[in-house]
Structure 1
Amino acid sequence: MRFFILIIIFFTFFDLFAQLPIISPFAVSLGATPFLTGIAVGMYSLSNIIGNILSGVISDKKGPYVILVTGLTSTGIVLFSYGLANDPYSLLAIRFFHGLAAGLTVPAAFTYLANNTVQHKRGKSVAISGAFVGLAAIIGPAFGAVYASRTSTPDMMAITGILLLSLGLAAFFLLKKQRTSQKAEPAKSEHDSNIAWNRGLLLAFSGAFFLMFSQGVLAYMLPLKVEGLNFKTEMSGLLLSTFGISAILVFLLPINRIFDRIHPLRTLIIGFLLMGSSLFLLSAVSNAFWMYATMCIYGIGFAFLFPSINSLLIDSTHPHSRGKAYGYFYAFFSLGVVGGSSFTGALELSPNEGFMVSGGLLLTVAAAATVFRRNNRH
């Protein structure tokens, strides 16, 4: 069943990444102004936050089974509604419900995975789940762009909708037998029913936010840097794929055992150091070879950070509150993406300045985590 949950995670993130290259052109084709186009892109992430939080609360009360099946089927149904969009405002409504429905699935899937993972193997487990996310990040944008260009955006969304509806139906039957065992343990008191806001959990949430903050900056600024250096447009996609491939190699190779042998706070610091340093290097280089090299470093840093923040969350929560914790966790993911792109856009930074600011933030977080680790040890 663990593999089936990993398949759900893959296609949920596939839905996210496949839409990235096609939503802006689709909004423009419906007559959207640049302002409305930006809102159409960001609307998904904003409503996704609501879905994430709802998913966490319901997972703790009803168990992840119910919300997992609901999220998959409702997302699949909403994806068919893209064919009904006939102006920018109808697209905004569809984007809102798409993000809301999709936000239900991911926290429930990761809660299910965490609650069925042996404690001493939780680092390797989340590393493998990260590999499935990385695969979706590589395959999704390419498939979405190619299929939509040959057919249409609504057709592309409908294909994804069929896949998610099929998964929802399969989950209904395959996971139904385990529904009772997956229900959260009833809280014994008001204290037990709430998240314990300890330092480990705050570190996990902060890590999620700044990880995706850098992703938002990268998605916004990297194509602009590539264009400014007069490289081919598709090079930005290849650079992002390079980061994804290097991350997947770390997730799947035997090195992934490190996440069970070393405390997640140490691997978190390593991840932030590598990612922050690579963004600084990216701001300084203009040669294609060195740009690919820095993206490899960024991918390795991502691969160290993603399992670390997941392990910190698992170690800092109990099963009866883990769903809610994952809901907030992925809400911070969505906030980070919106914050990274909007922050650098609002300051009107150049690509190199954006990379330097983002890199500086990541290195600052690494320094703060190092101080925390030393104080905690003493």
Structure 2
Amino acid sequence: MSTQTVSEEPQIISKRSPWLVLTVLCLGFFIILLDTTIVNIAVPELTVSLSATLDQILWILNAYTLTYAALLITGGRLGDLYGPKRLFMVGLALFTLASAACGLAQTPAQLVATRVLQGIGGALLTPQTLAILTMTFPQNKRGAAFGIWGAVAGLATIAGPTFGGWLVTSLSWRWIFYVNVPIGIAALVMAAVVLPDIRLNRRHRIDFFGILLASLALFLFCFGLIEGPSHRWGQVWSFVSIPMILLAGLVCLGLFAWQQWRNRDGEPLVPAGMFADRNFATMSGVVAAISFGMLGLFLPLVIFLQSVLSLTALQAGLVLAPMSLASIASAPFAGRLADRGGGKDTLITGLVLWAGGIGLVLWATRPYYDRRELITGLVIAGFGLGMTFAPLQSIAMRNVQPKMAGSAAGLINTTRQLGAVLGSAAVGALLQAQLVARLPESARVNVDALPQSLRARFLEGFDKVTTGGHGLEVGAGQSGAHLPPEIPESVRPAVEQVALKTFYEAYIPAMRVTLILPLLVLIVAVVAALILTRSDPAADPDEPSE
């Protein structure tokens, strides 16, 4: 296919149907986003299979999203430099190979390393999808295209636990990675044939120092949040403590902001003036809050369904399935509304439903929970989430010049993944801290059910979770404690039953407190969207369309 050059204005640049181009982009984008949530459903299985602790599980979850978020802007800039088709295919090939390597991992460390490679591939691919869409569809049809793109995003991120649950139960956790291989190969072949070879009539430079500072700041924040509970928020090595690591992350973030301002007349990682557009700036924060809520909901809920309620991965996935179906149903509808009226009212409605659904899930997670309340909350949340995708993208990208489409796409997806990283890390840290505080207390309440000779060792097993070097194990059938191996085999089953009861009684209140955090973040997003609605001229129904 011949190379096509784009200068300033978007146009239909492919002789093929733009909807066929959209299909290929969505196929590649689907497996990239699928891996942001599909691993959550396998948390109990990974804990048992790899003998992983909760902090190691958090690294397995966040190694992908952290790398993905840190390199998305770079991926967008590389697409501007070398062409989005080429970067889409390179990213897809790397992601597919890394997925196969993930399935072969034998230790938590190996899985973390291969998840990093997945993140690099995803970061190269994702910005190219929005860039190609922006330059392929005329403005008056982008809302519908973004609606389908948003439906795929909703399908991938929400259906991940359902699809993953079936794979984990029917095959093994390794197949949540192996499944990417045939899909990736098919998408790669289709991309080579269908995607137009777009080149922007401008050369870019890569801000390597900005990449280093931004990546280091993200890593330090996530390290501090993930490792904080297991180190009791104290020392990690020698004089290095968790507060020092978090402070260092804040310093790196400040240096990054200063370096970007100082380089504003050159080509900084964050293009000068990008956040001066109120639409783009506000939507960047809102998309981060949406992802924060999504990952903040999934981690504690999946552990609740499998480790507390003893559901299989497939059963847990089916509990989450109505959320996926509601999201898929509402996303195209929201896209059509975004084309007609600017999308702000639709976005606000979606955010309110998304936050309200999580609030109902929080209410439903009680010792004697009502499954109908839980599923109703998930349906409301899924319907609201689906309503946010298309209007959010339309509003964010409306005023972006085509020559900056790659960088803008990289930025908006970076903030999406930043929300996911911070949501998973912050909620994981809060959940760990709550369990560390509640498990010993719950053990003291239940210890009277054991013979006097075993009580001291039972309490000792739970007290170890409050000391450094002993991670929480929260797989199915595990209590989070480190029970002494010298407990006689004749009484060990009875001790383990009391230990599980101790875990259940500690986990439910810990989860309820933890879910308050993503709910608060989403409430802030609703307020931000309300402010945007009152002041954004793009919502004017009299605005002429192209």
Q: Structure 1 length as normaliser, TM-score?
A: 0.86
Residue 212 of structure 2 corresponds to residue 184 of structure 1:
no
The range that moved more, 138-147 or 313-322, is 138-147
Change (3 A) 1:260 1:161: same
Q: Find the counterpart in structure 2 of residue 340 from structure 1.
A: 423
1:343 offset after TM fit, Å?
Answer: 2.0
Residue 186 of structure 1 aligns to which amino acid in structure 2?
A: R
The range that moved more, 315-324 or 219-228, is 219-228
Q: Find the counterpart in structure 1 of residue 391 from structure 2.
A: 308
1:240 offset after TM fit, Å?
Answer: 2.4
Residue 421 of structure 2 corresponds to residue 261 of structure 1:
no
**1:49 aligned residue (59, 62, 69):** 69
Q: Find the counterpart in structure 2 of residue 168 from structure 1.
A: 188
CA separation in 2, counterparts of 1:156 and 1:43? 16
CA-based RMSD: 3.1
Change (3 A) 1:320 1:132: same
CA separation in 1, counterparts of 2:385 and 2:30? 17
Residue 240 of structure 1 aligns to which amino acid in structure 2?
A: L
Whether the aligned pair in 2 keeps the contact of 1:203 and 1:309 (CA below 8 Å) is: no
CA separation in 1, counterparts of 2:331 and 2:535? 30
Q: Find the counterpart in structure 1 of residue 379 from structure 2.
A: 296
The range that moved more, 258-267 or 210-219, is 258-267
Matches within 5 A, 1:195-344: 196-197=274-275, 198-224=277-303, 226=305, 230=309, 232=311, 236-253=316-333, 256-285=335-364, 286-344=369-427
CA separation in 1, counterparts of 2:138 and 2:380? 30
1:164 offset after TM fit, Å?
Answer: 0.8
Residue 117 of structure 2 corresponds to residue 37 of structure 1:
no
Unaligned runs of 5+ in 1: none
Q: Find the counterpart in structure 2 of residue 132 from structure 1.
A: 152
Change (3 A) 1:83 1:222: closer
1:291 offset after TM fit, Å?
Answer: 2.1
1:206 offset after TM fit, Å?
Answer: 0.6
CA separation in 1, counterparts of 2:529 and 2:31? 33
Whether the aligned pair in 1 keeps the contact of 2:147 and 2:331 (CA below 8 Å) is: yes
1:231-253: CA deviations, max 9, x gaps?
84666423422111111111245
Whether the aligned pair in 2 keeps the contact of 1:215 and 1:337 (CA below 8 Å) is: yes
Whether the aligned pair in 1 keeps the contact of 2:62 and 2:421 (CA below 8 Å) is: yes
1:46-100: CA deviations, max 9, x gaps?
1111332221111122221111010111111222223553433222221211111
Whether the aligned pair in 1 keeps the contact of 2:287 and 2:419 (CA below 8 Å) is: yes
Residue 40 of structure 2 corresponds to residue 12 of structure 1:
no
> Which structure's relative contact order is higher, taking Cα pairs within 8 Å and 6+ residues apart?
1
Matches within 5 A, 1:17-28: 17-22=37-42, 25-26=45-46, 28=48
Q: Find the counterpart in structure 1 of residue 231 from structure 2.
A: none
SS at match of 1:21: helix
Residue 526 of structure 2 corresponds to residue 366 of structure 1:
yes
**1:119 aligned residue (123, 135, 139):** 139
CA separation in 1, counterparts of 2:166 and 2:148? 28
Residue 24 of structure 2 aligns to which amino acid in structure 1?
A: F
Residue 74 of structure 2 aligns to which amino acid in structure 1?
A: L
Whether the aligned pair in 1 keeps the contact of 2:100 and 2:181 (CA below 8 Å) is: yes
Unaligned runs of 5+ in 2: 1-20, 205-263, 435-509, 541-546
Structure ranking higher in helix proportion: 1
CA separation in 1, counterparts of 2:405 and 2:522? 26
1:260 offset after TM fit, Å?
Answer: 0.9
Whether the aligned pair in 2 keeps the contact of 1:59 and 1:184 (CA below 8 Å) is: no
Change (3 A) 1:190 1:320: farther
- Aligned-pair identity (%): 23
Matches within 5 A, 1:68-83: 68-82=88-102
Q: Find the counterpart in structure 2 of residue 357 from structure 1.
A: 517
Change (3 A) 1:123 1:220: same
Whether the aligned pair in 1 keeps the contact of 2:41 and 2:317 (CA below 8 Å) is: no
SS at match of 1:316: coil
1:177-206: CA deviations, max 9, x gaps?
x21xx2224279968993522211111211
Residue 22 of structure 2 corresponds to residue 2 of structure 1:
yes
1:155 offset after TM fit, Å?
Answer: 5.4
SS at match of 2:41: coil
Change (3 A) 1:239 1:109: same
Change (3 A) 1:280 1:142: closer
Residue 519 of structure 2 aligns to which amino acid in structure 1?
A: G
1:321 offset after TM fit, Å?
Answer: 0.9
Residue 177 of structure 2 corresponds to residue 98 of structure 1:
no
Matched residues, number: 373
CA separation in 2, counterparts of 1:372 and 1:38? 34
CA separation in 2, counterparts of 1:230 and 1:126? 38
CA separation in 1, counterparts of 2:529 and 2:159? 33
CA separation in 2, counterparts of 1:227 and 1:61? 46
